[in-house]
Structure 1
Amino acid sequence: MSKVMDALAPTLPFDHDAIREKYQAERDKRVRTDGEAQFNAVDVSGEYAEYLTHDPFAPQPEPREALTDTIEVAIVGGGWVGLMLGARLTQQGVTDFRIIDSAADFGGTWYWNRYPGAHCDIESYSYLPLLDETGYVPRERYASAPEIFEHAQRIGKHFDLYGKAVFQTWVTEARWDEDARLWTVETNRGDKMRAKYLALATGPASRPRLPGIPGIHDYQGPSFHTCRWDYSVTGGAPGEPMTDLADKKVAVIGTGSTGIQAIPRLAQDAGHLYVFQRTPSSVDFRNNRPTDPEWAATLEPGWQKRRMDAFNAAMLGAGPIDGPEGDFTDDGWMRPIQSVTGLAAQLDDPAVLGEPGELDDLIDLSDDQTMERIRARVDSDITDPAVRDKLKAWYKQFCKRPTFSDEYLPTFNRDNVTLVDVAESKGIDRIDATGIVANGEHYDVDLIVYASGFEITSDFKRRMGIPVFGSDGQSLYDHWGDGMRAFQSHSTYGFPNMFIVGGLFPFGFGANYCSSVDDISGHVAYIIAEADKRGASRVEVTQETENGWVQTQVDSDGGIAKNLGGAETSCTPGYYNQEGAEVKSRNWKQEQYWGTVIEFGRLLQDWRTDGKLEGFNLR
């Protein structure tokens, strides 16, 4: 046993080894031989295309003339990534660009996510981008979906992006023309536009994921994915009662971060709600509250960047939790580091943490402490002992994305809510014309809601859905046959004048996705502007540079991932570990930047400060 275990384990009110045995047993219940393929059986670009192409929030697009002009930058995606890149390009003086998106407005995931109860789970002062630039302060600490969508529109108006956007338009192919040194971008609207630069800003959560349950196509009643919420079926609107569900039996499949938010609202309005769960989420306190207007009045220019940096540093233990830029002491993302520092303070000799393996053991014990507290919350909130046991999360906290809610757990005390746990059978048996069969029992339902999230780790080509061809007609996906590879997560050899901006790549450990996207959007905007200043028509990362970057990631020990738990084979199945598959379809070692979001931002800043565009061939 390690020194940390010897010193701390006897003082703690739980048995570390017993917890790990329980984790393994619960994992074994849920691991399936088909791994991630259980979701690949339903293709939302094929037989189930209505789940991807149907827009319940806008009418069918009006016919328009096909675009065949030449622009400087084609940005594929109008969510946070496309909006931030458009804003940063504008600030760099690059204004000849076009944003192409399949939705009818800006917002990306937050255009589509209008399900009841939808909120961000990162504090909105750090999460919502470009607050400082647009002069806006969110109304709540954790903004609701309608407010988030409004802010996406605010950014579009502030930076005059609506005049540069084409909506309800799908990119069907992007191909590099070496002779012209231009990209040809084709769409489902007959467009064949040309662009000097191509920016793939599709984001990581753009493709709905449906579970491959046998008979999913047999159901005869209404059904939809949460990102295509159909209020014509439920009645009401975001923030309003769903009046048409009062006498209906509703089934929700999925209890991740989406289900945690939607289920309490459905329970209030449905005649009866069946919640189908394979793996419970860890549910910590949210502690939402209105923004203090007096605090908002004190904010000075640059406040959001300072707060973003403070949030990232506090979460990673690199800065104070209650510093001058933000008091995060009751923020759920900070509780793990608070547990780590609390236990470390109990050591007689903290220097022992510098010895091999000791910090890992400290983090393991602090995770036990955090998860025991979360499981104890289930005991205090749930009245039925049988339901309590089913709602307890038996895995390390970061095996799955943590969730935060003050309404979810009490929902299961309602008489009109039934929890159907399908862990023992590793999922729902089947769906038929009138309902769902689970654990051998049939549930007649009037509506099925799929709260099954997005495809985060599926095949690259399937997830992005756009054929991309670079030099010599090479497919991007063939180039990525052994795993994604791109210098600084944005540029890949053989695909000149193309940038991947905050979409497919993870760029460092941290919870606030928008912070990293802002870093990389500003970085790519800088490269484009600098290349223009230097008169370059062709910008390509060298093969040596790309190989060197990838090898650095492969050689990393991945220690942060191990400590968080997401990369361990002991984790319960989820998208972090590709549903627990023994043989991985994705080479995370090659793709992931194995440092923190703070380190990634500094790396990019130092590279820009150097000013040499190191690693690129400019011609």
Structure 2
Amino acid sequence: MSSAHQTEVGPLERPDLRARYRIERDKRVRPDGTDQYLEPVGRFAHFSADPYTPWVERDPVVDDVEVVIIGGGFAGLVTGARLVEAGVTDVRIVEAGGGLGGVWYWNRYPGAMCDTAAMVYLPLLEETGRVPSAKYVEAPEILAHARGIAEKYGLNDGALCSTVVRELVWDEDRSRWRVRTDRGDELRARFVTLGTGPLNRPKLPGIAGIDAFEGRCFHTSRWEYDYTGGDSSGAPMTGLADKRVGIIGTGATAVQCIPRLARDAGSLTVFQRTPSSVDVRANQPIDPEWFAALDPGWQREWLRNFATLQTGGFAEQDLVMDGWTDMAVRIRDRVIADAVAFTPKDFRQAYEAADDEKMDEIRARIDAVVSDPATAEALKPWYRQRCKRPCFHDEYLDAFNRPTVRLVDTDGRGVERIDATGAWVGGQHYELDCLILASGFEFGTPYERRSGFDPVGRGGVPLSKAWADGMVTLHGIHVHGFPNLFVIQTGHAANLISNVTHNLVEAGTTAAAVIAHARATGAVEVETSAAAQEAWVDLLEDPTTMLTYDANCTPGYYNNEGAPLGHRERLNQSRYAAGPAEYFRYIDAWRSTGRFEGLEFRPQTGKDEH
């Protein structure tokens, strides 16, 4: 019997567990780090194209608008909504996809859904009046909500979809941004907001021979339903009934689509380099009557509650009650119970004890669900839960009990090579008709590479040069040397990755407030002062508060693929010193005063605005 099933012996003792974590990590550390992944070029250039909306020729648009929003995902949508609420309606969205929705426009793979509860993940629920169908909702419902925001606030009007920005340049003479696109559009905007997101460009596994495969091959974010059959709502993929399907990747995306593939494919081979940590989801429908009885302002309360508990704070109750808050509360309570002086060492020991307990539960659940001992052993994650994106799913493990599903565990090495008819692992060849790449998106690569353009600010300085030594901002939103530009993101702010949309709502609300103030006071330009930006970056760079990563974590996009983090990488991923909940309180107070400290509002100085 494998060691994974020696339940009568009990869990591994802590020293042995630490050693196992290190061994598993060392298997997976690669010298090429993030360079191991390939860009979607050459044979795979079509992965950057849109399989969902036909490209339609149109005449170029020449226009002068108040605000151009680049990116039509939730970052752009919530910013646009807040602008409209503030009375700014001359807004135009530019979006690469054939429709608005961002990541939820692109991610239509079967089983796609969010791992964060809908009550806190779906922004502007109160404003739109939408009632989520369940605690966790699937992608079609999320996309419908995004489109509902656009409809309510009139953001579809004038939106330029299937359009990619190629140039963004500050015109100092006119205090306007010039925006040029791949459609020949030329826009002039008083303000520009960037909501391009950190996860929008597919990355491909750097496996030898990947371009030699002669069967069907596609990325999960560009799902080819014309081949598989079915649709994003869950209809059976009848086109796969007689196909030998392989999938590379076992991260959050694969965890969601593998159960549907297991259901429909003639056979499914799952190639695994590192198993995911998969906890219980326990999804359940939302009672419309209960939802209707919630007091006004309920979503703001839920957001604060979630952020507070996520950062070790206290609340009278856990409103969300999910895997994210469960782990945070466990750590907090263990610190209180075990700590003597609340030193970093006390916290670390309490954190490790709570995490050991949680990961023992996750590994035990695999034993309880997966019938084959060898498969169960291979599916067990040997690392801390927060080393990689935690997953929550109730059907993933069961999929491996199907006779048509085969797990090929590569013991951390990955697929060796691909040829015309399949993949090689450990000297064994696996014949495939279809190869699906669940390899995720670029993360941490330069902004201009992911977005396709490099904003050029005052004095002809590109953003890539301003950020050459690491991202510098005020509040993660404003950049010195780039007037009237607002970055809607998570970094340099709360960086609450368990609920990205909360970050976007706060950033969008802040940008709208600043723009409205500039309009009300007649300011032509608004920009962070160099001193304010420097002070903010100094706060982020405090060595006692900068984000750090466990050296024993298995490689992934959370930790720069296991490569050492230099100053630039740490700065790019840093957050407000006191944590997400405190940042949200801080930025709300900052904009509520109406003083907007750290920003300079400049009046008209005789420049030609026309």
Band of TM-score, shorter chain: over 0.9
Runs of 4+ in structure 1 off by over 4 angstroms are 344-347, 503-506, 583-586
Indicate yes or no: 2:198 matched with 1:199. no
Question: Out of 472, 483, 496, which is 2:459 matched to?
Answer: 472
Residue 182 to residue 503, structure 1, CA distance change in 2 (3 Å): farther
Q: Which residue of 1 aligns with 2:585?
A: 602
Indicate yes or no: 2:566 matched with 1:581. no
Q: Which residue of 2 aligns with 1:334?
A: 325
* Contact 2:309/2:329 (8 A) holds in 1: no
* Contact 2:493/2:583 (8 A) holds in 1: no
Give the residue type in structure 2 aligned to 1:553: L
Indicate yes or no: 2:540 matched with 1:569. no
Provide Cα deviations, 1:386-424, integer angstroms capped at 9, x if missing partner.
111111111111000000011111111111111111234
Q: Which residue of 2 aligns with 1:500?
A: 487
Q: Please give the alpha-carbon distance, in whole angstroms, between the structure 2 residues aligned to 1:510 and 1:415.
A: 37
Q: Please give the alpha-carbon distance, in whole angstroms, between the structure 2 residues aligned to 1:404 and 1:465.
A: 33
SS of the residue corresponding to residue 240 of structure 1 reads coil
Indicate yes or no: 2:177 matched with 1:186. no
Q: Please give the alpha-carbon distance, in whole angstroms, between the structure 2 residues aligned to 1:584 and 1:434.
A: 41
Deviation of the 1:161 alpha carbon:
0.9
Alignment of 1:160-309 (within 5 A): 160-238=154-232, 239-309=234-304
Q: Please give the alpha-carbon distance, in whole angstroms, between the structure 2 residues aligned to 1:261 and 1:467.
A: 34
* Contact 2:474/2:532 (8 A) holds in 1: yes
Give the residue type in structure 2 aligned to 1:247: D
* Contact 2:457/2:463 (8 A) holds in 1: yes
Q: Please give the alpha-carbon distance, in whole angstroms, between the structure 2 residues aligned to 1:599 and 1:556.
A: 18
Alignment of 1:314-393 (within 5 A): 314-320=309-315, 322=317, 326=319, 328-329=320-321, 331-344=322-335, 347=338, 352-393=340-381
Q: Which residue of 2 aligns with 1:34?
A: 32
Q: Which residue of 2 aligns with 1:50?
A: 46
Deviation of the 1:509 alpha carbon:
3.9
Alignment of 1:536-555 (within 5 A): 536-555=523-542
Question: Out of 387, 408, 419, which is 1:399 matched to?
Answer: 387
Q: Please give the alpha-carbon distance, in whole angstroms, between the structure 2 residues aligned to 1:540 and 1:346.
A: 47
Give the residue type in structure 2 aligned to 1:248: K
Question: Out of 380, 385, 409, which is 1:421 matched to?
Answer: 409
The more displaced of 582-591 and 598-607 is: 582-591
SS of the residue corresponding to residue 537 of structure 1 reads strand
Provide Cα deviations, 1:454-510, integer angstroms capped at 9, x if missing partner.
112223221222121111111110111111111100111111111111266663345
Q: Please give the alpha-carbon distance, in whole angstroms, between the structure 2 residues aligned to 1:154 and 1:394.
A: 42
Deviation of the 1:583 alpha carbon:
5.7
Provide Cα deviations, 1:33-90, integer angstroms capped at 9, x if missing partner.
1111001xx222566321012x2211122x2221111111110000000000000001
Give the residue type in structure 1 aligned to 2:194: L
SS of the residue corresponding to residue 375 of structure 2 reads helix
Give the residue type in structure 1 aligned to 2:238: T
SS of the residue corresponding to residue 23 of structure 2 reads helix
Give the residue type in structure 2 aligned to 1:416: T
SS of the residue corresponding to residue 498 of structure 2 reads coil
Q: Which residue of 2 aligns with 1:90?
A: 84
Q: Please give the alpha-carbon distance, in whole angstroms, between the structure 2 residues aligned to 1:484 and 1:64.
A: 37
Q: Which residue of 2 aligns with 1:513?
A: 500
The more displaced of 234-243 and 588-597 is: 588-597
Give the residue type in structure 2 aligned to 1:550: V
Q: Which residue of 2 aligns with 1:8?
A: none
SS of the residue corresponding to residue 164 of structure 1 reads coil
Q: Which residue of 1 aligns with 2:15?
A: 17
Q: Which residue of 2 aligns with 1:6?
A: none
Q: Which residue of 1 aligns with 2:606?
A: none
* Contact 1:508/1:600 (8 A) holds in 2: no
Structure 1 spans left out of the alignment, 5+ residues: 1-11
Indicate yes or no: 2:137 matched with 1:143. yes
The more displaced of 164-173 and 583-592 is: 583-592
Q: Please give the alpha-carbon distance, in whole angstroms, between the structure 1 residues aligned to 2:594 and 2:261.
A: 54
SS of the residue corresponding to residue 369 of structure 1 reads helix
Provide Cα deviations, 1:17-47, integer angstroms capped at 9, x if missing partner.
22111100000111111111001xx222566
Question: Out of 428, 439, 445, which is 1:452 matched to?
Answer: 439
Q: Please give the alpha-carbon distance, in whole angstroms, between the structure 2 residues aligned to 1:545 and 1:427.
A: 46
Provide Cα deviations, 1:304-352, integer angstroms capped at 9, x if missing partner.
11111112222323233735xx2x34x11122134225545654xx5x1
Q: Please give the alpha-carbon distance, in whole angstroms, between the structure 1 residues aligned to 2:158 and 2:149.
A: 13
Indicate yes or no: 2:465 matched with 1:439. no
* Contact 2:248/2:272 (8 A) holds in 1: yes
Structure 2 spans left out of the alignment, 5+ residues: 1-9, 603-610
SS of the residue corresponding to residue 69 of structure 1 reads strand
SS of the residue corresponding to residue 49 of structure 1 reads helix
* Contact 2:472/2:533 (8 A) holds in 1: yes
Give the residue type in structure 1 aligned to 2:597: E
Q: Please give the alpha-carbon distance, in whole angstroms, between the structure 1 residues aligned to 2:215 and 2:491.
A: 35
* Contact 1:554/1:590 (8 A) holds in 2: no
* Contact 2:359/2:384 (8 A) holds in 1: yes
SS of the residue corresponding to residue 286 of structure 1 reads coil
Q: Please give the alpha-carbon distance, in whole angstroms, between the structure 1 residues aligned to 2:294 and 2:578.
A: 31
Give the residue type in structure 2 aligned to 1:592: S
Give the residue type in structure 2 aligned to 1:578: N
Q: Please give the alpha-carbon distance, in whole angstroms, between the structure 1 residues aligned to 2:578 and 2:427.
A: 46
Q: Please give the alpha-carbon distance, in whole angstroms, between the structure 1 residues aligned to 2:403 and 2:58.
A: 53
TM-score (norm 1): 0.92
Deviation of the 1:578 alpha carbon:
0.9
Give the residue type in structure 1 aligned to 2:583: F
Give the residue type in structure 1 aligned to 2:40: V
SS of the residue corresponding to residue 538 of structure 1 reads strand
Residue 47 to residue 527, structure 1, CA distance change in 2 (3 Å): farther
* Contact 1:110/1:149 (8 A) holds in 2: yes
Q: Please give the alpha-carbon distance, in whole angstroms, between the structure 2 residues aligned to 1:402 and 1:449.
A: 22
SS of the residue corresponding to residue 69 of structure 2 reads strand
Deviation of the 1:159 alpha carbon:
0.7
Deviation of the 1:300 alpha carbon:
2.8
Q: Which residue of 2 aligns with 1:617?
A: 600
* Contact 1:508/1:595 (8 A) holds in 2: no
Q: Please give the alpha-carbon distance, in whole angstroms, between the structure 1 residues aligned to 2:226 and 2:581.
A: 44
Residue 450 to residue 419, structure 1, CA distance change in 2 (3 Å): same
Give the residue type in structure 2 aligned to 1:568: D
- The number of equivalent residue pairs is 591
Deviation of the 1:277 alpha carbon:
0.8
Q: Which residue of 2 aligns with 1:3?
A: none
Identity rate, percent: 43
Deviation of the 1:556 alpha carbon:
3.9
Deviation of the 1:584 alpha carbon:
4.5
* CA RMSD, 1 decimal: 1.8
Deviation of the 1:202 alpha carbon:
0.6
Indicate yes or no: 2:125 matched with 1:131. yes
* Contact 1:73/1:96 (8 A) holds in 2: yes
Provide Cα deviations, 1:166-205, integer angstroms capped at 9, x if missing partner.
1110001101110111111000110011111111111111
SS of the residue corresponding to residue 597 of structure 2 reads coil
SS of the residue corresponding to residue 270 of structure 2 reads strand
